[in-house]
Amino acid sequence: MSFDTLDYLFDLRGYAILRNAIDPQHLAELNDAFDKFPDLPYMGWYGNVQRLDNNGLAGLELQNIVEGGEPFEKLIDHPAWINRLHLYCGEKGTYVDGLFIDECFASVRRTGGFFPIHSGGQNAIVRNQYRMINGNFRCGQVNILMAMTDIGPGDGGTLVVPGSHKSSFLPDEVRALYQNRENYKTLPEGAIEVHLKAGDVLLFVDALMHGATERTNPGERRAVIYRYGPMWSKTRHGFEYSEELLARLTPERRKILRQDPRRLPGTQFGVLH
């Protein structure tokens, strides 16, 4: 097995940046879809997309956005990241080989919005863990955060603590910040803000300590986040991918949203290999 520089940086820091991952045409389609999305009240539905601001401080979140139209479907197995994710969190080469998207949402951050810092290897959560064993990446969850707008200073950019996916403990002063959301303006030692151009992607293991700085600029930051994990996962908030969506996807994309065949009453297929 040979690894490239992005694999090396992912292992070392817990994240990597894929520059110009989304081409300008696709980016324009995604932004157009954002513009056309109806104004939804909190918890309101549009088709199989729900506005569910998971963290009210961070801004508006449109959950299950893969159901929001073709531009979002094209992201499922995007060539800029799909093979890397298969390697990192798709149990590649094992009897449970395959990926699943367990959460996907569009995020709009306006002035004053921020995301309190959270996560970190010290929690030892199985679902989002970072693992590299005997030359195999076996991570639990890897996120693809796609910038739909430029994200520079004051725009409410993502914060990461490089290397924190491997941390075993938190010093008291970091724990105090981490647990007290009032302290959000004080960044933990080692935290950096990631700046992206529209079309760039931040790929990071969810065990990495992360969050986002407060947006102080006017206007809005737009991002789309797809969280991938092994094919045996389940959706985080209980969303079900619709039959309509599954029917129109390519087999490669469908497989990332639902493993078929399902063993429904009356079906007969073997399990011997």
From the CB of 218, what's the least distance to ligand AKG, in Å? 18
Q: 222 pairs with which residues across the strands?
A: 108
Q: Which amino acid is at 73?
A: E
Residue placing its CB nearer to ligand AKG in the complex, 198 or 212: 212
The answer to whether the bond into 261 is cis (omega within 30° of 0) is: yes
Taking the CA atoms of 154, 65, 7 and 14 in sequence, report the sign of the dihedral they define: positive
From the CB of 31, what's the least distance to ligand AKG, in Å? 17
From the CB of 179, what's the least distance to ligand AKG, in Å? 16
Residue placing its CB nearer to ligand AKG in the complex, 106 or 249: 106
How far is 263 from 273, CA to CA, in rounded Å? 17
**184 close to 214: Cβ distance less than 8 angstroms:** yes
Residue placing its CB nearer to ligand AKG in the complex, 50 or 107: 107
Name residues whose C-beta falls within 8 Å of residue 229's C-beta, 6 or more positions apart in sequence: 89, 99, 100, 102, 127, 140, 141, 142
Residues near ligand AKG (CB under 6 A) are 58, 107, 115, 158, 210-212, 225
Residue placing its CB nearer to ligand AKG in the complex, 1 or 126: 126
Coil, helix or strand for 211?
strand
Residue placing its CB nearer to ligand AKG in the complex, 48 or 55: 55
From the CB of 205, what's the least distance to ligand AKG, in Å? 12
Measured between alpha carbons, how far is residue 244 from residues 22, 96, 238 in Å?
26, 26, 18
From the CB of 103, what's the least distance to ligand AKG, in Å? 8
